[in-house]
Chain A
Amino acid sequence: MQTQRISIAVLLLITSLQSSAEVDVNATFDLLKQNLVGEWRGFIAHSGEPVEATFYLTGNDSAIVEYIRRPQKPKASMSSVYHAADDEVWVTHYCSFMNQPRLKATSFSAQHRSLSFDLMDVSNLQQSGDRYTHKMRVAFPGPNKASVTYTGFAEGQETGDLTVELERIE
């Protein structure tokens, strides 16, 4: 039983290292720059609520600012900033939950053209039960299409996804 537990732990560690190794920092950040920068419009998948999004470069092209506006709920607009951090790609999400999770890219799926981010830490949590984004996923399902998924977390469990489906404005 003990051996089996250790084997599972080692397997999980190897899997996580393999996932990390898949993320090449330059290739990943270039992918985001090439595919995200510009003006977009779309909707929130589960509700159909319309959104408008702008992705722009800053800091001598070293960071991408994401600004997602929700015309029907202006206060719920939210931003994220993606950037290379040594040999990793990080994103800080300035959330409408009023906290700021920082996540790092942990895996890239060539098949799904998607990049997954996992939580590193979070600031401005008011109470232990506060909800915050603990995973993000950026996907490019087709030409001039993108989606960003924020996975919420509270009290030890995931609380669901908020996916923003986007189409580039020509």
Chain B
Amino acid sequence: MKPDETEPELTDMNRANLISHISVVFFVFCCTSSQAAELSPSPPQFHQAFAQLKTLEGTWDEEEYGRVIEYHLTGDDSALIEEFIGDPPMTSVYHLDGVDLRMTHYCNAENQPRMIASSYDSDTLHFSFVDVSNLESPHAYHTRTLRIEFLTENSVVLTFTGLRSGEEVVTTHTLTRRQTQIFSGGE
């Protein structure tokens, strides 16, 4: 079979049409890719989010309620435990799950909502509800979302939003990092 029977040579017109088609396809690909990136952050963003969460390690104060909050790492630094110390205490644990960032909140409401990071932009990290265990009734209070705002390296705001009988309940905790006492020595 001769080449000219199967592969007609590209004329200038055909070449122009082909370039035009490729451009359109490339443009559509770029648009859909950027839309996808806006809707669902690429995996490294949640790894970055977990790295930023780990910087919380240490002791923090919540002046409004006079409580102390401690963050410490466990499991070869694979999980970050957040402890609200006081009356009553409550605990959350944050960890990666492949490309996802998850947290379980061991709540004062005596149930355990699990959430997954849904957006992150270096200043703010949002978690959305996945499921909850030990819920006394469908109307019982349980946390549905958590927003963490990293104001400065020494200031962070946690906002828990829950539902009780269908009504939203918002609780905000403003934390300030406890400064390490540096002994300057005496005379």
Q: Is the CB of A124 within 8 A of B90?
A: no
A58 near B: Cβ within 8 Å? yes
A94 near B: Cβ within 8 Å? yes
A33 near B: Cβ within 8 Å? no
**Max chain B C-beta neighbours (<10 A), residue from A57, A58, A85, A96:** A58
Per the bound structure, the CA–CA distance linking A156 and B15 in Å amounts to 57
**Chain B residues near A98 (CB, 8 Å)?**
75-76, 78
Minimum CB–CB distance for A75 against chain B, Å: 5
Contact of A60 among B79, B96, B104, B110 (CB under 8 A): B110
6 nearest A-B residue pairs (beta carbon)? A98-B78, A62-B110, A85-B133, A94-B79, A123-B97, A58-B91
Interface residues of B in 78-130 (CB under 8 A from A): 78-79, 81, 83, 88-91, 93, 95-98, 102, 104, 106-112
Per the bound structure, the CA–CA distance linking A168 and B152 in Å amounts to 41
Minimum CB–CB distance for B164 against chain A, Å: 15
**Chain A residues near B93 (CB, 8 Å)?**
79, 81, 92, 94
A149 near B: Cβ within 8 Å? no
Q: Is the CB of B78 within 8 A of A84?
A: no
**Chain B residues near A94 (CB, 8 Å)?**
74-75, 78-79, 81, 93, 95
**Chain B residues near A56 (CB, 8 Å)?**
89
> Which residue from chain B places its CB closest to the CB of A87 in the assembled complex?
B134
